[in-house]
Chain A
Amino acid sequence: MDAVILARLQFAMTIGFHFFFPPITIGLAWLLVIVETIGWRKKNEIYVKIGKFFGKILALTFAVGVATGIVMEFQFGTNWAEYSKFVGDIFGAPLAAEGVFAFFLESGFLGLYLFGRDKVSKGVHWFSGLMVALGSTMSAFWILVANSWQQTPAGFVLRNGRAELTSFYDAVFNESMLIRFFHTIDAAIISGAFIMAGVAAYFLLRKQHIEFSKAAMKVAVIVGIISSLLELFPFGHEHAKQVAQTQPEKFAAIEGLYNEEDGSPMVLFALPFDNPPELKGVIEIPGILGYMVFGDPDAKFLTLAEVPKEDRPPLWLTFVSFHNMVILGMYFIGIMLLAGYLIKKDKLWDNKLVLKAFVWSMPLPLIACQLGWITAEVGRQPWIVYKMLRTSDAISVTVSAGEILFSIILFGLIYLMLGSLYIFLFRNKLKHGPEPIEVKGEVA
């Protein structure tokens, strides 16, 4: 197989797998800040217990996230050397800043948060939890700076055969950066809320740790309602508007705009096809899209037919990923509102159907995150830096297809194992519940 495809496959696999974990970490970290605040200020032992238990889940998730995250930092150089040479002047800085401003904070204080509960005052311990949340959020900030620059590059000039920085501020706050940051962080908070809610639902179904689970469920549902509504509006809406304005080709692939049409419809359902790009079996509402993006139902959008063939993003994958993400987003709002209503009526605690739905919904926000990420990255193709550098010109010239294949198989197997172990240990943690494990062996 061709080295470009293999290099892309490897990147998709390593970043896709890694990206299951940071949303849980970021989301849980903020939920833990809330829980620890209540536990500390109101001296409520139940909340301290919730903090300890979800702290362990955070630690497990963090370990796999860190382990798979190191790969990210290295593989721009290993697999994408030409890209690294082209963008190093700009792209390296956010990665370094992520280390300096985010990773040190997150990992330093995570050690204190997990292992230092008895060694420091309650206030310092609470602070360490806050720093973990802040650190993980800053890490998302810097990585989105780097990725958004690929989407909407700014603050540079082409010189000496590469992109050279002219304004750090412009490069950081490029057109897509802030809205993508909010969109992604909110997705992470939704992911955390569904993990907490799912765990609580699991215990409630088994009639275990009732008080613990009710308290955790309430926190998760309140956070879940707010965050899932915000994800639709303003974050999702504004992000779509930004894409339509700054990356019209991607927007065309997202919304399935493939030939000249009247009145910019919003597609509710369709079967997408590539080569040539088209939709079949379309159900649509005319005019809505133009109204939502430009406030004008007759607004004209760029369509894929108008884009030269070699510059077209693939329709099928972009369209399918985006629409399924949106469907999931609607589901999150629905189930969270329903749970909120049932809690208010005091009817959630023995509602088996809804509780079961919560247990099985735990991975769904993570899948939505993956779909969103695919939309963002595949929709940018064939560019690695939008309209500046093609993905096919960005790979390492010294690395052979065979070497890449070797590493794909190696990491594929390792990730399969890590993924299975994570799920296995997560389930173990659930089965055991929040009671502390007795210390085995001699204590030194």
Chain B
Amino acid sequence: MRLSRLTLAAVFACLAALSPGPAAAGPPVRVASMNQCTDQLLLLLAPDEAIASLSFVSRQRPWLDPAQQARIKRLPVNHGAAEEMVRLNPDLIVTSAFSDPSTLSLLRRLGYRVETFEPETSLEEVRASIRRMGALIGAPIRAEDVIREFDAGLDALRDGRRRGVLAEIGVGFWVPGSGTLSAEIAEAAGYLTLGEKLGYSGYRYLSLEELLLSAPDLIALSNAWSTPPSLSTNALQHPAVGRIAGGAAFVDLPDRLTICGSPALLEAVARLARARPGTPESGQ
């Protein structure tokens, strides 16, 4: 049996009507975010009236961007509960791929459109996430502007100097190796991550003893959540940490700059580059 041209055209017309094209006209979509990284993307690309809600994490002190503080405090927040989403009734829900799967499937069953974002593992994926969020909320041009600005900022910071090995130590002593966004950030600032030097990819738990025997040039300690305390965040203040490699330099790299794939990474690169003057790359 052959479908007639007319039927095909009708099917396509229906499909087109169903999918809300990226730059659809009409009232702006109201978007709710249930994760701090989708919060950041929304704040970057959407006007306040399009933001139905942000995650409560965006208001917590360690993650609060000083420049956005007033705006974030004005916007409503949610705690990632399905009930809150039903009450908000947004056109679109954006969140991390690691959100509670039972909440997401419940929301989808209730007919909500839920879009999830994977944590970015490279700068290219950061650009892709910005682009995708722009398309979802009908701001593709704004997204391209942001990406262009981000790339220009990165280019301005890259100076081809070599600055040595960076040990970025996260809560629980997780240290990034190759194939991570952290490694690309380090590379943009002229560093090799400790994990790359040790020859592993992804994140790995390094014991305090292994860290003491490694010899990084610069150490960035995770510094979110010193108060209220927890054992794992306090562990980073173990007296031996201060004596890694007989006193390598420490850099103040707030976690909020590196936790998400967003243009906040630019400031992270700038701080890393400033922390050590570096030597010009040989052969250039």
Say whether A associates with B.
no
